[in-house]
Amino acid sequence: MAIDVGAIVTVPPYAPFLDAVAAHPLVRGLRLNTVMPLRREPGEMERVLARLAATGKTVHIDLKGRQLRVVSAAVPPFTEVRVSHRLRVRTPAVAFFADGRERARVLAVDGDRLILEDGPRRFVGPGESVNIPCPSLRIEGTLTDTDRAYVAAAGAAGLHDFMLSFAEREADVAEVEALDPRARVTLKVESAAGLDLARRAGASLGRLMAARGDLYVELARPHRLAAALREIVARDPEAIVASRLFPTLAFAAAPAAQDVTDAAYLLEIGYRTFMLGDEVCLRPESALAALNLLEAIAADAPGPGARRLETAAAAAAGAAGA
């Protein structure tokens, strides 16, 4: 039996190739990353959401919640970065930029200002994410003003599917539901606290998503990501897996070996819905290449029945050898 695999594709709000990507047989839904800028015109959110909904696919609106993001440009040399929430953390602390590839030492926090000893030796632009994986971190508030505006615009467009970044408490989901009682919330597991929530609640609050990019950075030890991925899909067999999927295709025509084996492993441990992220979906060629690759890997993967036969055959061979 072939594995039934689906994909959610991140789409730029004004992508001219929207219909071509949405028509791919693997595509079950579209994700709008609300960090992507829109024209500043009245009703623009509603128009963009209506355009996505016209494809007939489920539109998932990705709310940023308590995710820390840069809100104003910082040019080196600099010692201050303003972020999207006021916060408290025991200092000194380490802050990570660029999906964990760059780090800086935080000497002090003043409201929404990170006072750095040093920093990435490059321009840091608005919208970039910041991770501070410290147990003492406390972020004030959950939904941003933009999040609230999107929930209102979605309701006006008849849309009710949301993804909630850094979901860590039951109250986080309740905050979305208070704005839209019909909301269907996907909880993005992106931190140790989010993993604890998944352990407590499973899928009772909404579908889970293993958002590997931030989760990898936030966990105390990188190798723990593998166990976290297995635990999330065990808690919710319908869980989505996302982030760092087929990154090579964003810059090259052919995938790297690890792109192929990564997807095959995720299928093997039980994931059936894959969400393609921003970089690989910025161009139609890379988005379609990623979808075609996922389809081919899934077609070659042994289904549950085949695995049972392999296990039985191995057991029989072992018994014969004994």
The band of 317, judged by pLDDT with boundaries at 50, 70 and 90, is low
151 and 37, same domain (yes or no): yes
12 and 52, same domain (yes or no): yes
Which domain covers residue 162, as residue numbers? 6-66+141-189+238-306
Phi, psi (deg, nearest 5) at residue 226: -60, -45
**pLDDT for 143 beyond 60:** yes
Q: How far apart are CA 243 and CA 186, in angstroms?
A: 15
Query: Per residue in 200-245, pLDDT tens?
Result: 999 999 999 999 999 999 998 889 999 999 999 999 999 999 999 9
Mean pLDDT for 139-151 is: 95
Report the pLDDT value the prediction gives residue 256, as an integer from 0 to 100. Answer: 97
**pLDDT for 312 beyond 60:** no
20 and 135, same domain (yes or no): no
If you write DSSP's letter for every residue of 34-94 in order, what string do you get? Answer: TTS----STTHHHHHHHHHHTTSSEEEEEE-TT--BB-S-B-SS-SEEEBSS-EE--SSEE
Mean pLDDT for 115-137 is: 90
In this structure, are residues 279 and 287 in contact, taking their beta carbons and an 8 Å threshold? no
Q: What is the CATH number of the domain that holds 88?
A: 2.40.33
Number of domains the chain contains:
2
The amino acid at residue 38 is L
Query: Per residue in 74-99, pLDDT tens?
Result: 887 777 899 999 999 999 999 999 88
Question: CA-CA-CA-CA torsion for 209, 255, 35, 106, nearest 10 degrees?
Answer: 80
**pLDDT for 313 beyond 90:** no
Report the pLDDT value the prediction gives residue 89, as an integer from 0 to 100. Answer: 97
The band of 304, judged by pLDDT with boundaries at 50, 70 and 90, is low
Average pLDDT taken over every residue of the chain: 92
19 and 168, same domain (yes or no): yes
If you write DSSP's letter for every residue of 98-145 in order, what string do you get? Answer: GGGTEEEEEEEEETTEEEESS--SS-B-TT-B-B---TT-EE--SS-H
- Point out the domain boundary residue: 139, 157, 174: 139
21 and 58, same domain (yes or no): yes
Would residue 111 count as lying in a domain? yes
Report the pLDDT value the prediction gives residue 308, as an integer from 0 to 100. Answer: 46
**pLDDT for 320 beyond 80:** no
CB neighbour burial string for 122-155, b if at least 16 within 10 angstroms, e if fewer: eebeeebbbbbbbeebebeebbbeebeebbebbb
Q: Which residues contact 146 (CB under 8 A, 6 or more apart)?
A: 34, 64
Dig out the tokens for 133 from the structure: 């994986």
Mean pLDDT for 15-29 is: 97
Q: How far apart are CA 160 and CA 140, in angstroms?
A: 25
**pLDDT for 179 beyond 50:** yes
SS3 content of the chain, % helix, strand, coil (to 5): 40, 20, 40
Tokens 């976290």 belong to residue: 228
12 and 119, same domain (yes or no): no
Q: How far apart are CA 187 and CA 172, in angstroms?
A: 9
Helix (H) or strand (E) holding 260: helix 257-268
The band of 176, judged by pLDDT with boundaries at 50, 70 and 90, is very high
Would residue 11 count as lying in a domain? yes
Mean pLDDT for 274-301 is: 96
Q: What is the CATH number of the domain that holds 55?
A: 3.20.20.60
| Percentage of the chain exceeding pLDDT 70 | 93
Q: What ranges make up the beta strands (E) of 261-308?
A: 273-276
Q: Which residues contact 227 (CB under 8 A, 6 or more apart)?
A: none
Dig out the tokens for 207 from the structure: 């579908």
